[in-house]
Amino acid sequence: MDNQLSLFYGLSVLTAALAFAFAAYLYLWVKKQKTVNATIQEVAALIKQGANTFMRREYKVLAKFAIVAAVIIFVLLPSPIWQGGILDNVSMAVAYLAGTVLSAIAGKIGIMVATLSNARSAEAAQKGIKPAFLVGFRGGAVMGLLVVGCSLLGVAAVLMVTGNASILLGFSFGASSLALFAKAGGGIFTKTADISADLTGKVELGIPEDDPRNPAVIADNVGDNVGDVAGMGADLFDSNVAAMASALVIAQSLSGGAYSNISMVFCYAILGLLASIIGIATARIGKHGNPTRALNSSTYVTTGVFLVLTAIATAVFEGFSWRIWGASAVGLLVGVIIGITTDYFTDDTKPIVRKVAHASGTGPAFTILSGISYGFISALPAMIGIAVSALVAYKICDPMGEGYAIFGISMAAVGMLSIVGMIISNDAYGPIVDNARGLAEMGGLGEETIRTADELDSAGNTVKAVTKGFSIGAAGLTVISLLGAFMSEANDALAAAGKALITGFDIMSPNVFFGILIGAAIPAVFSAMLILGVDKNAQRMVAEIHRQFNTIAGLREGKPGVKPDYDKCIDIATGGALKELIPAGLMSIIFTVVVGLIGGPLAIGGFLLGNIVSGLLIALFMSNSGGLWDNSKKYIESGEEGGKGSSAHKAAVIGDTVGDPFKDTAGPSINTQITVVSLVASLLSSLFVAFSLFG
Amino acid sequence: MDNQLSLFYGLSVLTAALAFAFAAYLYLWVKKQKTVNATIQEVAALIKQGANTFMRREYKVLAKFAIVAAVIIFVLLPSPIWQGGILDNVSMAVAYLAGTVLSAIAGKIGIMVATLSNARSAEAAQKGIKPAFLVGFRGGAVMGLLVVGCSLLGVAAVLMVTGNASILLGFSFGASSLALFAKAGGGIFTKTADISADLTGKVELGIPEDDPRNPAVIADNVGDNVGDVAGMGADLFDSNVAAMASALVIAQSLSGGAYSNISMVFCYAILGLLASIIGIATARIGKHGNPTRALNSSTYVTTGVFLVLTAIATAVFEGFSWRIWGASAVGLLVGVIIGITTDYFTDDTKPIVRKVAHASGTGPAFTILSGISYGFISALPAMIGIAVSALVAYKICDPMGEGYAIFGISMAAVGMLSIVGMIISNDAYGPIVDNARGLAEMGGLGEETIRTADELDSAGNTVKAVTKGFSIGAAGLTVISLLGAFMSEANDALAAAGKALITGFDIMSPNVFFGILIGAAIPAVFSAMLILGVDKNAQRMVAEIHRQFNTIAGLREGKPGVKPDYDKCIDIATGGALKELIPAGLMSIIFTVVVGLIGGPLAIGGFLLGNIVSGLLIALFMSNSGGLWDNSKKYIESGEEGGKGSSAHKAAVIGDTVGDPFKDTAGPSINTQITVVSLVASLLSSLFVAFSLFG
């Protein structure tokens, strides 16, 4: 290790500590805000308790899974324990567990702060948009800071201790395992509750959203937190770690100047975190300001600060290359462009959402057909963006020598994810103010306050589309570099076995092609299984709600003192989410193993590619269709196309219900599915080298 | 040319002549059947006239397009005219025109027979299921025989005259151009009319399907013919020609024994046509027989006969290889398996359709969500089937020497398409008996007859799913061999330019990856554009129907002698179809050219792969979702889940409306889009070699 690298290890730890300190400050600031309304306090306590119940049960299942996985990793990886090198196996298993634990801690604290902020934001909304915005935003920022701080700290610690970047794949796989449970499980939970609450409350009984008589209402609010705060946080923790891990694996394999490349990865991650801290600290809104603009401008501040700081660092530090800076800048800029185009398809001030709202006037079939069509079209600019950034990053860095081109692509992913602290803050803001809106309604804070809360909520929805585009784009670039990481792992195994090395994955090779076709079908099947899981789970919950309305006397009429059994609904959502998620996760892993055992490493290369390409397409399609249906419904509810209660509105509600599991369950879980499969493939590369039918 | 090849050229012409003679016999047989009902005669004449109007206008637009394309081809292909070799350019342009003309003739005659058979089948249904089935089936068989006869004759003639297999790509491109117009244009036409008729008739006015008061009713019946008879025929003509052309291009490039390989392609095509003739001639149904079983058993007879005949030929002829026979047998068997699994997802006696019907009870959102989910899942077995057949065909033929592996894959495609005559017969049977059902209703032939017609119609729907799976699978295999054809064309151009040859398309190459990502988005955008086209067009037609009901006195009440203006609706459907189709086709072609000019031949290789993979996925998803929604609706209408008029039925109708453009417009047009893009890429390979930004 050289001095420069030691410096950046030290700075990584310091910056992470700074992020934790700032998070602690924001936490105490939020905690200091007052709540006085007894109903709000009571409901907020129920939401908090519900979220904790889900997290506890999720973590319990996950712990079992993680222990089994850690044992398998210990026995088999990086190479079977009977071949010696036991220390590496211990490191790998410990790194894996550290990945799950760090992500779990970030999720746990994030949920704690989010469920603290919602009530405070609701009551602050009585004083105006400014204080309510700040509570929501700062509450969300705690999650953002924790996620990025933990990922930087974890990656730096693993590499400092082991000195072996391959061990980072274990850490990254830990993060992915947790993300799979948090994102897909949380996604099933939240949509089960949301759909069941809507179907029984709004549709059957005609009672308003967030009516406390509805047994699913607390589960619905819990769902926002576990799906969007914990789930999205774990997802981006996973992407961020995977991007850094793959960049570091490649950096370590580069001949000559490897240390400065490793330093550069850490330096950029540190500066990204600093830029996010600056962006969060300077987020401001006027007294009657526009919250969407406030959120977006903090994102742009962060982006600008990052580009300037990294340029300075590149000029100052020895061995840092402008080409690599260029690659990461391209990644970040393309991320911003993807965000803006996503916004075009999902923002209700733009034409697409209005066209779908208009089509709803002709009936629900047209809501669905136009939403699906525009969702498909919306994938094109993002796919082009990812394609162009990969091509440009490659071409910029290729002249630096062998291996640098792929390193450039991985640094484009690191660049795109550099502002992830800001992204998560914006994202976690959404469910906090969504909850705040519900609490304001349940606490009877009056129309003015609800309107303020509504405005904050709507900003959360719009910004969410942008952050989703970002995270999908980053996942796309990351997995390209994971493909590079897989090839380097497979070649290590091939070299050890004395076999010919892989020089690439030619699509004319039947094994590669075989892998591609099957890999492409997996994200489709995975998302279908999650959607069907929501469907089944919602049917169970609807039955339970019917049971409560039929057996609890006075509940339907809202007799004072009569309360539904909220816990039972939370229980169903929790149990069902974990039950439905596991087959989908296993299916992806089993297909990876089977394809590898049939076609060997070449088939796996193809499998990963097919998986990435169709995964990106389906994730973009589902996230954007879902977002545009949601906003079309809101647009009609604002009085357009006949307004609430019109036939267009009814059609739009159907579109929104279809879009719910698209955008909050399946779409964003595909990211995690892709990462999990890529890491399983890399980790098992020696198995596929040792045995395959046609390999 | 050797003696063996001369023999097969001769036999090709003879077999095509036999197919034409048999088609003529069937035509005369159908024509001999009587119609006596005046209403039926009148409506049938209107349908015939409407179909002819559409075909005439379509062919007119196509003729302009084809002439422009032929001039471009003449100037630029296979190499620019100023580089000499003018004879090849003339051949290519003429072959292109021959491809469009032969396909157009087959479509024209097919429509003529189909619109002759519908009325006769309707009246035959009074006498029972047996005579009505025979009229429908034999009417459809004329189309099947013509398509296969024309494609065999055309391919043999082009190769006999020019001796240059590359010229076949021009012929194939002609067939594709026509297929794009016929399939996508016909698909937009048929669904515009179908949806508009349902929305205004069934939903708004509550009048039955096929009620003569509805101005769209004739357009709806015309749509069945132009979409399913002419469109599907042109699509399979295209696939069949493309499969033969790519097999022949590869066969000609094989070193040693090339003639016997070329002979083998023709021999197998000839035997496939003979097997189809035998299957058609032996199709039988008992007096109270099951038409689905009759259709399926003819397919199995054809399959068996083909396998036996090709085995005999392989044993008898010199230079024919058992390995190649194995590859084509694998292709055919996998096709049958894909058909059977498709049937599992779309047949209402199987669990999936029933689950979707049951989910409809909870509301339309669940109809849509479950249909989309099962549609995605249904793609998996077919993708696995194609992947396995490609892998197995490759591995079987690889030991024969360089280039044989890809030849094996192309022969698997030829094998899968060998029974295409039978497939088209089954497919064209569908719209004939669908029309017959409508005519029986309009002609007042009584309940018994309508029930018979219904049974025939339902068999058509079930069998259609099987044939669609077949045609998508075949397209998948064909384009793999087109990828091989593209590489060989690009290498010819590279060799001529003195540049390094392409040895494959490595997904780690940034150009290839760039192409893959963009290529994967194209089928999504293409199908979205077609669906939005149907949407827009249907809105125009609905407005016209409203205008007629509001301005034609007595129409709504059904006053005797008052007739709607059917022609106006046919006009709208026709004009809109052509207007909406062209941007989608151009978009695909422009992206191919732009990607090639940016990334060169490597990017195009990736582009084709991305296009194939996501195209297969989306086509399978859309065709199967659409089929299962249609059959779920029919299942509920048969009295299950509350039957007609229940809330489940209303939800299922919405699902069916969404599924209509999925299964009859977008899904099956993707095949053609893929083929067109592949051929454009092959034809322009020298352009991309000469100039590209990053190539």
Nearest to A628 by CA among A454, A375, A292, A339: A375
Task: List CB contacts (< 8 A) between A546 and chain B.
Answer: none
Q: Taking CB atoms and an 8 Å cut-off, how many pairs form between chains A and B?
A: 235
Task: List CB contacts (< 8 A) between B517 and chain A.
Answer: 383-384, 386-387, 390, 476, 613, 616
Predicted local confidence at residue A205, as pLDDT? 79
B1 pLDDT higher than 60 = no
- Residue among B199, B383, B504 whose CB faces A517 most closely: B383
Question: How far A651 CA lies from chain B's nearest CA (Å)?
Answer: 10
Which residue in chain B has the smallest CA separation from A656?
Answer: B365
The series of mean pLDDT values per 10 residues for chain A, 695 residues long, is 85 96 95 88 88 87 90 84 84 94 89 89 90 92 93 94 88 90 88 87 77 86 85 88 90 73 93 94 84 86 94 90 93 87 87 93 92 95 92 91 87 89 88 89 86 85 76 81 80 85 88 94 96 91 89 84 87 88 92 94 94 94 92 90 89 92 90 87 85 80
Identify from A356, A368, A479 which residue to disrupt to test chain B contact, counting B C-beta atoms within 10 A and taking the largest count.
A368
Q: How many CB atoms lie within 10 A of CB A488?
A: 21
Predicted local confidence at residue A255, as pLDDT? 63
Question: How far B19 CA lies from chain A's nearest CA (Å)?
Answer: 36
B117 pLDDT higher than 80 = yes
Percent of chain A scoring above 70 in pLDDT: 99
Task: List CB contacts (< 8 A) between A370 and chain B.
Answer: 532, 535
Task: List CB contacts (< 8 A) between A529 and chain B.
Answer: 373, 377
- Residue among B365, B480, B532 whose CB faces A513 most closely: B480
Residue type, A551: T
- Report CB contact under 8 Å: B376, A199: no
Task: List CB contacts (< 8 A) between A673 and chain B.
Answer: none
- Residue among A370, A372, A390 whose CB faces B510 most closely: A390
- Report CB contact under 8 Å: B507, A509: no
Nearest to B414 by CA among B330, B532, B503, B292: B330
B436 pLDDT higher than 60 = yes
Q: How far apart are CA A339 and CA A116, in angstroms?
A: 29
Cβ partners under 8 Å of residue A35, min gap 6: A41, A44, A119, A120, A123
Question: How far B456 CA lies from chain A's nearest CA (Å)?
Answer: 28
- Residue among B514, B613, B614 whose CB faces A387 most closely: B514
Nearest to B295 by CA among B308, B282, B305, B309: B282
Predicted local confidence at residue A258, as pLDDT? 62
- Report CB contact under 8 Å: B514, A605: no
B652 pLDDT higher than 60 = yes
Identify from A367, A376, A398, A545 which residue to disrupt to test chain B contact, counting B C-beta atoms within 10 A and taking the largest count.
A376
Question: How far A279 CA lies from chain B's nearest CA (Å)?
Answer: 33
The H-or-E segment that residue B193 falls in is helix B186-197
**B511 pLDDT tier (thresholds 50, 70, 90):** very high
Predicted local confidence at residue A107, as pLDDT? 87
Question: How far A19 CA lies from chain B's nearest CA (Å)?
Answer: 36
Q: Is the pTM of this model over 0.80?
A: yes
B338 pLDDT higher than 90 = no
Q: How many CB atoms lie within 10 A of CB B433?
A: 34
What's the token pair of residue B396?
């079987």
Identify from A198, A410, A617, A629 which residue to disrupt to test chain B contact, counting B C-beta atoms within 10 A and taking the largest count.
A617
- Report CB contact under 8 Å: A383, B517: yes
Kindly report, residue by residue over B654-666, the tens digit of the pLDDT.
Answer: 999 999 999 889 9
- Report CB contact under 8 Å: A505, B503: no
Let me know if A316 is exposed, middle or buried by CB neighbors in 10 A (0-12, 13-18, 19+).
exposed
- Residue among A383, A511, A514 whose CB faces B518 most closely: A383
Q: How many CB atoms lie within 10 A of CB B289?
A: 14
Question: How far A343 CA lies from chain B's nearest CA (Å)?
Answer: 18
- Report CB contact under 8 Å: A505, B507: yes
Identify from A487, A508, A545 which residue to disrupt to test chain B contact, counting B C-beta atoms within 10 A and taking the largest count.
A508
- Report CB contact under 8 Å: B535, A387: no
Question: How far B369 CA lies from chain A's nearest CA (Å)?
Answer: 6
Predicted local confidence at residue B75, as pLDDT? 87
Kindly report, residue by residue over B249-266, the tens digit of the pLDDT.
Answer: 888 888 655 678 899 999
Q: Is B506 helix (H, G, I), strand (E, B) or coil?
A: strand
Predicted local confidence at residue B256, as pLDDT? 59
Question: How far A17 CA lies from chain B's nearest CA (Å)?
Answer: 38
ipTM of this predicted structure: 0.91
**B340 pLDDT tier (thresholds 50, 70, 90):** confident
Let me know if B522 is exposed, middle or buried by CB neighbors in 10 A (0-12, 13-18, 19+).
buried
| Mean pLDDT, all residues of chain B | 89
Long-range CB contact pairs, B157-163, < 8 A, 24+: B157/B98, B158/B95, B158/B98, B159/B9, B159/B248, B159/B262, B160/B9, B161/B91, B162/B88, B162/B91, B162/B95, B163/B1
